[in-house]
Structures are given as structure tokens and as C-alpha cells.
Chains A and B, each alone.
Chain A
């Protein structure tokens, strides 16, 4: 199942509107909208894999992006914070831990009111740093590819995208693609070449997106 099918964009439209209204004092709303569209699935997927609920994961998405907005200038001027990818990973992790702490506090509070003395939830369920890095790396790659595909789909001629989709993504034989779409193999190969080149360029742009936020 693709990233897109797992996390339908439509379900996150209210979250994006809510976030953008909170960011309304920041310049360049379009860049923040692009940033949200690029990274929300990644942050959400990591939050879910950490054991959070859907509501908590959406909260993590919002709070992480707010954190990026508040600290982006500091990130630009402080090389010790490392790459944008690593910095975003840390911000995401801290927001996830915030949600877990909030949940723990609520449960402890409820336990005290009920007169129970249950132990706090097992925080060992949070992946260790190396495991977390591996999960993050994988989700990062998958996410960038999914976003690049989504962006390129809106830019290329629709017929080319259809050929690319059937030949490369759905792995149809070239002859079947050509016959089904009433074209020839040369055009299918050309579509693959053009769209693949655009996707590579788009992935490169997305990887550097963090450097262009204001």
C-alpha cells in the first residue's frame, strides 16, 4: 500500500488549515503550505509508529511544524545543529515525547483520583536511537519519493504521467502500455525518461527545501 493510500490527503486538510491559521503571522504562507505538504506524512507516520493515536499524531504534526517555524532562523545560523533532516528528526522526536508525557500525566492523574497506583506506561516502547534512525531514514526516503511523485504529477503532461505510472509504477510490459494507450513503445520510453528526470530533480529540491524557509 502506498504512502498516499495509507494517509489520504483529504483527512489532513483540516489540520493544514488549522496549522496555517496558526502560522498566519509568518511571511510566505505558500512556502509553509509546501513544507507542510512535503513533510506531514513523514512526521505522522513516525508518530504512529511510536505508538501514538491518530489524534496525538496529528498534534505532533502541527507542533513539529510550529517548532520548525519558530526555530528555523536559529537552525540556519548554527552549524552544530547538523543537517535539516537530522534537525527535523529531533524536533519530531521531542514532540512525540511531549505527547507521551501528556498521556502519562493524564493517566497518573486519573489513577490518583481513582485511588489506584498503576505503574506509568512502558516508555521502552519508544524505539532506541539507532532503531529510530533506521525507521526515520526509511520513512524519509519513502516520503520524499511520494511527495516528488505527487508534485511532478501536477506538472507533466497527463498522458506522459499515465504512461510512466503504468510502465514504471505498475510495472506493465511496455507493449501492453503502448497497446492500451494507443501509442508506441518509443513514446512510453520517452515518458519514462522525462518523468524520471523530473522526479530526481524534484527530490533534490525537496531535500533542500528546509534551507529556503523564512
Chain B
């Protein structure tokens, strides 16, 4: 390990990762640290370090490594998952690491200044507690729901869907923290995050759906997940807020207390979100009625004018031919 200065000015030991220079610690993930790193070619990456000392027993440490090794090739097969590019270990067994795509900077997007870099996550976006338009919520929800569906088809459960685990890469949302991804029906010591865990507990397809539903609730209402199902107090009769009320139905279904009443799988949720988005741009029933009413009026006026014209012409003809 080498020494490096951290922002507090105290020397900090920096783990050694092949072909990567670890520049600065940028966060703490489940059971480990996250570093900003640079490859020998100058590309920026995120490197997650999982220390053996973070685990009381060796088995959970091994399980996490095993999960990551299984997850690594899968992560590159779906756009909604952060690519895991490399998994490796320290020769002494003190830690293992995984190299991932780097999130956009919260202020400058894909342009990275290593001295000031802060990763953009959905949690950062939520920190203002401002409601997002429904369209934006769907642009987050669809890729993440689709990514969950992909994981579930591989027999894996994410277990910790939450805003802090959704990052943006080139403005596109992706699901991260495979640290908690486990096989379906396999017991896990990981507990997830309170407020995103359904009443029946974790470890199922529908528990991941519930968690995503809570995320969608937070970004669409600007409220905290513990406030669910309250709606914003400042709702107005605008088109945007009417969209929110209709979008609310999708959230309610994703977060039903009874798991049997939720979307049965992530594909069904994805379809509902897409149908909502496309349905928004199709004329609504009210708009169709208004349009029909408009044309009926025009048709009625045209017929009336035609009848009047005929009557006038007929009267003139009668007058001409009566004498």
C-alpha cells in the first residue's frame, strides 16, 4: 500500500490495484470504500475496495467476492447496470476490488476534475427535495426496472435498490452496488435500507419492485420514503400534476403492502411505465371528445348553411318562375 494525502491532510494508505492509480477516496459503500482512479491510458474509473477486516467471519467476505465474480460478466450485458470491468484481489487476501465505470460529476457531468469530483447519484438529485416531472421519473424508472428484470431472469436479486445506488453515466441512470446482489431464495446477511424494504422482507423479485416503487415515489413527489403514500400538499389542476396523479397509480401498485397485489415482475412494471409514457402523448379521452365535438359543430354549421342556401335559392327560383 502506498501513502497519499486525504483532504484532511493526514496521510492515508492507498490500496494498490493493477493498472490503476487510486487518486482519492470518494465514498464508502457496503462493507468497503470507493476510490476515484485513473487507468494507465488516462481513463477515470471507480474502484470499490472490500476489506476482509470489515467482516467478522470469512464466509460473508467470500460470498461477496463470489457474488461479484458472478455479477461481473452479467453487468456488461445490460445498459441499466453499471459495467464492472475487472474484479481482483490483493495477494495477501486483505481485500478484493472491483473496477467500474465512473459516475458523472454532480456539477460537470462527464467532464471529470479529479480534485473536485463528486459522483452524481439519484440521492444527490433528491437532496433538493424538489419534485421531478413525471417524464423524468419514467426516464429513470424504465432502465432501472429493465435492469432489475434482467437480474431476476439470471436468478439474482439486487436487495438494495435506493437513490444512492442509482448513478448517472453520460446522463443515463444505472443501477450500482452489486455488493448486495445475491441468488434468489438464498439467505443473506445483508439487510438493505429501511424504508425501501417491504413488510414481508427482502430477497424476492417483488421486494426489488417495492424498493423501486419507493424510489419513484420520492422523485415524483419530492417527499421522503417514510411519508409514503402522502401526496404533495401543493398539487394544482395543472397538466403536470394531473400526470402525477395518474403516475401515482403505478407507484401504488408497485408498493402494495400485499406482495400479490404488486406487479408480478419487473417486466410488468417496465411495460406499465412505457405504456404511461406513450399514453401521455396520445390524445386523452377528454381531448378526443373535445376534438369530435369541434368537428361535429363544424359539420352542423356546414349543414345549416347548406340548408339555408338551398332555401334561399329555392325562394329566388320560385319568385322568378311565379310570374
Could you give, for residues 161-196 of chain A, a 1 whenever the CB lies within 8 Å of some chain B CB and a 0 otherwise? 110011000100000000111100000000000000
- B252 and A159 contacting across the interface, CB-CB below 8 Å: yes
Q: Which of B226, B233, B235, B245 contacts A10 (CB 8 A)?
A: B226
Q: Jot down 9 A-B pairs with beta carbons below 8 A, ordered by A.
A: A8-B224, A9-B226, A153-B229, A159-B252, A161-B230, A165-B230, A166-B231, A170-B233, A182-B245
How far is B224's CA from A122's CA once the two chains are assembled, in angstroms? 40
Q: Is the CB of B237 within 8 A of A10?
A: no
Going nearest first, the 6 A-B pairs with the smallest beta carbon separation are: A158-B229, A158-B252, A170-B233, A165-B230, A9-B226, A162-B229
Q: Does A4 contact B (CB under 8 A)?
A: yes
Complex contacts, A180 vs chain B, CB 8 Å: 235, 237, 241, 245
B200 CB within 8 Å of chain A: no
Task: Give the nearest-CB partner of B194 in chain A.
Answer: A13
A154 interface residue (CB < 8 Å to B):
yes
CB contact under 8 A between A179 and B230, given known A10-B195, A154-B257, A158-B255: no
Residues 174-208 (chain B) with a chain A CB within 8 angstroms? 194-195, 199
B interface residues with partner A (beta carbon < 8 Å): 194-195, 199, 224, 226-231, 233, 235, 237, 241, 245, 248, 252, 255-257
| Cβ-defined contact, A10 with B194, below 8 A | yes
Closest CB of chain A to B114's CB: distance in Å?
32
- CB of A4 within 8 A of CB of B226, answer yes
CB within 8 Å for A162 and B231 given contacts A180-B237, A180-B245: yes
Query: Inside 8 A of A170's CB, which chain B residues have their CB?
Result: 233
Q: Which residues of B contact A159 (CB under 8 A)?
A: 252
Interface of B is mostly: loop
List the count of A-B residue pairs having beta carbons below 8 Å apart. Answer: 40
B231 to nearest A CB, angstroms?
Answer: 6
Q: Which residues does chain B contribute within 8 Å of A10, judged by CB atoms?
A: 194-195, 224, 226
| Chain A residue at minimum C-beta to C-beta distance from B231 | A162
Q: A154-B199, A182-B245 are in contact. Are A8 and B235 (CB under 8 A)?
A: no
Q: Find the residue from B195, B229, B257 having the highest chain A CB count within 10 A.
A: B229
Q: Which of B224, B227, B230 has the most chain A CB within a 10 Å cutoff?
A: B230
Chain B residues whose C-beta falls within 8 Å of the C-beta of A182 in the assembled complex: 245
Question: B255 — which chain A residues lie within 8 A by C-beta?
Answer: 158
Across-interface contacts of B256 in A (CB, < 8 A):
158
Chain B residues with CB under 8 Å of A161's CB are 229-230
CB of B309 to closest CB in A, whole Å: 45
Contacts of B233 in A (CB 8 A): 166, 170
Chain B residues with Cβ under 8 A from A165's Cβ?
230-231
Interface pair A8/B226, CB less than 8 Å apart: yes
Which residues of A from 130 to 162 have beta carbons under 8 Å from B? Answer: 153-155, 158-159, 161-162
Q: How far is the CA of A36 from the CA of B204 in the complex (A)?
A: 28
By a CB distance below 8 angstroms, the chain A residues around B194 are 9-10, 13
The answer to whether residues A181 and B245 also contact, given A13-B194, A159-B252, A170-B233 and a CB cut-off of 8 A, is yes
How distant is the Cα of A8 from the Cα of B194 in the complex, in angstroms?
12
The complex places the Cα of A159 from the Cα of B233 at a distance, in Å, of: 15
The CA-CA distance from A165 to B228 in the complex, in Å, is 11
| Contacting residues, chain A, for B241 (C-beta < 8 A) | 180
Closest to B230 in A: A165
In the complex, which of the residues A10, A158, A166 has the most CB atoms of chain B within 10 Å of its own CB atom? A158
The residues of B that contact A181 with a CB separation of less than 8 Å are: 245
Residues in B whose Cβ lies below 8 Å from that of A158: 228-229, 252, 255-256
Q: How far is the CB of B40 from chain A (nearest CB, A)?
A: 41
Residue of B nearest to A9 (CB): B226
Write the chain B residue with the least CB distance to A2: B227
B231: chain A residues at CB < 8 Å are: 162, 165-166
A3 to chain B, nearest CB (A): 12
CA distance A9 to B227 in the complex (A): 11
In the complex, which residues of chain A have a beta carbon less than 8 angstroms from the beta carbon of B245? 180-182
Q: Complex formed: what's the CA distance from A165 to B232 in Å?
A: 10
Contact residues in A for B229 (Cβ distance below 8 Å): 153, 158, 161-162
In angstroms, how far is the closest chain A Cβ from the Cβ of B162?
Answer: 12
Given A158-B229, A159-B252, A166-B233, list of 18 further CB < 8 A pairs? A4-B226, A9-B195, A9-B226, A153-B229, A155-B257, A158-B228, A158-B252, A158-B255, A161-B229, A162-B230, A162-B248, A165-B230, A165-B231, A170-B233, A179-B237, A180-B235, A181-B245, A182-B245
Q: How far is the CA of A58 from the CA of B237 in the complex (A)?
A: 43
> Whole-angstrom distance between the alpha carbons of A4 and B226 in the complex?
9
Q: Which residue of A lies closest to B229 (CB)?
A: A158
List residues of chain A with CB within 8 A of the CB of B226: 4, 8-10
**A82 shortest CB reach to chain B, Å:** 34
List of A residues within 8 angstroms of B237 by Cβ: 179-180
In the complex, which residues of chain A have a beta carbon less than 8 angstroms from the beta carbon of B199?
154
What is the CB-to-nearest-CB distance from B136 to chain A, in angstroms, rounded to a whole number? 21
Residue of A nearest to B246 (CB): A182
Q: How far is the CA of A153 from the CA of B225 in the complex (A)?
A: 13
